[in-house]
Amino acid sequence: MPDPQQTLATPASLEGTSLHTGEAVTLTIKPAPVDHGIRFRRTDLPDQPFIDAHVKNVETVERATTLANGSVKVHTVEHVISALTGMGVDNALVEMDANEPPIGDGSAAPYVECIKKAGIEAQDAPRRVFTVRETIHLEMPNGAMVTIVPDKNFRVSCTQIGPDGRFTQYYSAEITPEIYEKEIAPARTFVYYEDVKPLLDKGLIKGGSLENAIVIKEDDSILSKDPMRFKEEFARHKILDIIGDLMLSGKRIAGHVIAVRPGHGPNTAMAQRLVKEYAALQSMVPPVNIPEDGEAVLDINEVMKILPHRYPFLMVDRIVGFEGESKCVGVKAVTINEPYFQGHFPGHPVMPGVLQLEAMAQVASILMLRPAENQGKIGYFMSADNVKFRKPVMPGDTLFIEGEILKIRRNIGMAKARCIVNEQIVSEADLKFALLDS
């Protein structure tokens, strides 16, 4: 079963000083319903407007991530979003009586403590995760690179490189609430003195001090109220930022993020890329009710771990979505290279109906063989009733195969399945299986 979405158990507040204006601010995190996501609310403005924490609302990424909806803005949102994401909160309302969260000590630790004070509770809906199945690479003109490769978990590896190669650091971690709280959240923001001096001269960064940032001078000496918390504190803080910025894609990801010289610009550019990649994936799927929990998606290797079939009788390329334990959708790309086209109407190639039936049976078998108690068994196809072939399937078609378990009693399973091409049903059947030990 996919992990459930989570929200806060109760509201909790945090008071402090904003980084840029130096003004006092109170931030309150509140519970939110399923699929709400993370939203900010400016309680100091008329009508108390909302801003979704989404990359479509990113206005600027210089030194911090700023969201805007018309004239309403919230600055430096990455730390609070990172803390919520790292601690496993999917849905939250973040209220502020100023345009920027409190900077605290420059890390995400104060937000983690606020979240722990509020408590976290599970919700009655599966968590939405985008599982990265193909490498996504982004390279920026300044040499920054962000790559995401497939991984069943969420992991971030970061190489932080300062100007002229100064303070090059590397750190890598799987991101779980326990690891995030201990290894990532305490890492503080850092700045190079030559970069911030012009801003200080202009009276900006009024809330900045050695209590909420590490300052690196031109001679590479470090100014800080406290000693370094980690030997790779800079790289760990960059991971903190990456987690917050990538969540602006609107979904958690399962994948390994590899970043070199990252920053808010590259991070949010990758978030935008993730939105496009996810939209492209969904455009391949017919309009059926499939939850977006990426954990339940199976590639061809995972399909072959469940099914005993192999080429040329494996009729499922991948599973693109599950709905609970009873429904799923598989995909089969029909190409002219299929071996059966050599003899099945070679002058007018049509996919044999019996093989469409086999594809339906294989998808239904995956549903029946996924539960722990059925793993290692084989689904023997016993009968097919109410079989209908409505339209021919040609080379070049993409076959979406929907399967639904109707009931399983002892070792006998009943299922309903159908094949879809271009949003039209091309075949359907009611199936019966016997589940036997292999």
Rounded to 5°, the CA angle 76-81-86 comes to: 140
Query: What single string gives the DSSP state of each residue in 18-77?
Result: BTTT--EEEEEEEE--TT--EEEEETTSTT--EEE-SGGGEEE-SSS-EEEETTEEE---
**Residue 284: other Cβ atoms inside 10 A:** 10
Q: Which pair of structure tokens corresponds to residue 277? A: 């990649």
Q: How many angstroms separate the CA atoms of 106 and 190, rounded?
A: 8
Whether 344 is a known active-site residue: answer yes
Torsion sign over Cα 52, 55, 59, 61:
positive
SS3 of residue 327 by DSSP = strand
54, 237, 256, 264: which one is catalytic?
Answer: 264
SS3 of residue 436 by DSSP = strand
- Picking from 351, 346, 336, 361, the residue whose alpha carbon sits closest to that of residue 418 is 361
75, 79, 344, 348: which one is catalytic?
Answer: 344
Whether 256 is a known active-site residue: answer no
Q: How many angstroms separate the CA atoms of 227 and 338, rounded?
A: 65
Compute, in degrees rounded to 10, the torsion defined by CA atoms 274, 113, 152, 299.
-50
The position carrying tokens 């309150």 is 28
Q: How many angstroms separate the CA atoms of 266 and 275, rounded?
A: 14
Put residue 373 in one of left, alpha, beta given phi > 0 → left and psi -120 to 50 → alpha.
Answer: alpha
Q: How many angstroms separate the CA atoms of 403 and 362, rounded?
A: 9
- Report whether 187 contacts 109 (CB < 8 A): no
- Picking from 86, 119, 18, 116, the residue whose alpha carbon sits closest to that of residue 237 is 86
Q: How many angstroms separate the CA atoms of 239 and 154, rounded?
A: 12
Q: Which amino acid is at 18?
A: S
Q: Residues with catalytic annotation?
A: 264, 344
